Structure 1
Amino acid sequence: MYLIKTSAVALAISMLTLWTQAGEQLPFPVVTAVKQSVVREEKADAVVEAIQQATVSAQVSGRIIEVNVDVDDYVTKGSVIVRFRDTEQQATLKSAQARYVEAEANYNRIQDVFKRKLASKSQLDSAEANFKAARATLEQAKEQLEHTVVRAPYSGIVVERLVEVGEMASIGQGLMTGISLERLRAVADVPQRYIDKVRQLGRARVIITDGKNQSIPGVKLTFSPYADPATHTFRVRVDLPVGQEGIYPGMYTKVAFVIGEEERLLVPTSAVVHRSEVTAVYVINDQGQVSLRQIRSGHELDDGHTEVLAGLQAGEQVAADPIAAGIYLKQQGHPEL
């Protein structure tokens, strides 16, 4: 289990200046070991993926006369990416417009005649039906013409170009595949023994492991309703804040899921001394006497503190600069251990 200090609570460790019994000021800063609430986390391997990723397909059949983008190009929402020859669609539209004008004129004429009781109700109904059919045909023709111009559904990066100028494309054929880098998420598999806690607490952070050691809080968790029968894990998607820079789909990362909270005794990691198999801190008693005391340490937290499991009590003073404390102890003629 990995533990990290609760972000909502600041660790109350302040630098102190202490004096010896003889009234001499200690030549190093001192901090107080305090108990603090920390959260337990379970880390899982994850992969970054784009929330918006899609292949744009042809909605008409025809010859491609224009391809405006290629792989790795950035496109804005609504920009033209592919254009089809529209000769047939233009002709269909003109024909539909002519039929619409004729049907509208006939419908208006029959209405006028019907008002003067010179036309039957069936004639009026027939003219109205023809007018509505012509209007629907016109709208369909306009839509077919619009489909000859393919536009980007959202702003993003082209990752795959599937057609070339001069090719014939049919309805449903893929033209371009693109992703948006604005909205990303990390996808991880959580072991079944932790899934209830992860669902209940609903908190996670994404850790970018590219040398920066960047930690990003997740804004939304989406859970698979069932476990993978082979791995017995639940897939969880963790949405990142919009507009993250330097993070790309396909990158390896880790997700730390919160699975609990508990109290731990903490000291700055910089105050801990490691010598062979001994872990210790320099402790200052009420009389200002310095001694090196062995402790049993726990996890090192991301915020620069270490858990103390045994060997130290809350409220005791420890040297924040163990090198300076060691030099001071030797100058006093005392062994460190």
Structure 2
Amino acid sequence: MRSKQQMRRYVVAVAAAAAVGAAAFWYALRPVPLSVVAPKRGDAAEIVYASGVVEPRVWAKVTSTVRERIVEQCNCEGERVETGDALARLDDTEAQAILGELQARLSLAQEEYRRKLALAERNTISEQTVDRARTDVAQLEALIAGQEARLAAYVLRAPSAGRVLRQDGEIGEVAELGTVLFWVGEPRPLIVEAEVNEEDIPRVEVGQKAYLRSDVFPERALEAVVDSITPKGDPVTKTYRVRLGLPEDTPLRIGMSTDVNIVVRLSRNALIIPAAAVSGTKVAVVKSRKAMLREIKTGIRGTNGVEVLSGLEESERIISPLPPDLADGTRVDVVRTEAK
């Protein structure tokens, strides 16, 4: 009786093991559900990315070279000014007092010099005494000239003709050294000043086309052309300044930020596949419901697409995205065909 029960348990165990084995065998050989995509023809572009700011081609900053309070300021933002027009005046009370003191000392020194010159003509004093008096006068005249030059810095003037693009600061505020109080220039034409990484700059040349993206105009195609490249880079940020000319009808405004994509190489009517379908130089095509790994030669690589130079026919269907562990000859079940 016991042996029969043991036999039944053994048979049940064998049957269960066989079922598990059969399920595992089926699971191992089942088709892997994957999606495929067809290569497409289009233009492949190699891009150098940078970020930039819109600026006028011709403009200048007006800063203070002395730290003093603003006592006068024009209300001229947006208005045209000519070279030398006064934009603001700083408090020069102390500087004027110093000038007045120097002028008073000069008057006394000149009077003393005339007196000693008269005495020298009567041979009552030496020529050395007269020379010292003459030197005192010359020194004071030099000090006055320097002080008058410093007083000119208390008036901020337009460095060139143009429009006051922006003005900062208010009457009563202290103008700090180097602080920009006025931007003067021409509102047109405009450029984009971009910073390009040093490893990318050898591929950038004057005349290349660039495509811009602005959050202000997300649906509008914006273009520019590389206008100039600074010969010297910044060793700290490891970037080079690139200026891109904008068309006259650009909607961009001064101060707006943009993403810059400079086209450094263009391949027209190229065979393009999704970047997700490529692992190194390998792709997988589907033939007779099996995945066949294929070596291809690639050209321009982008974040979304890869140019195929050889190793793939336009009529073939490739697996995308390509699973990293997909083995050659794996049975596949195409669950979706993407029109890419």
Bigger-Rg structure (1/2): 2
When normalised by structure 2's length, the TM-score is 0.47
When normalised by structure 1's length, the TM-score is 0.48
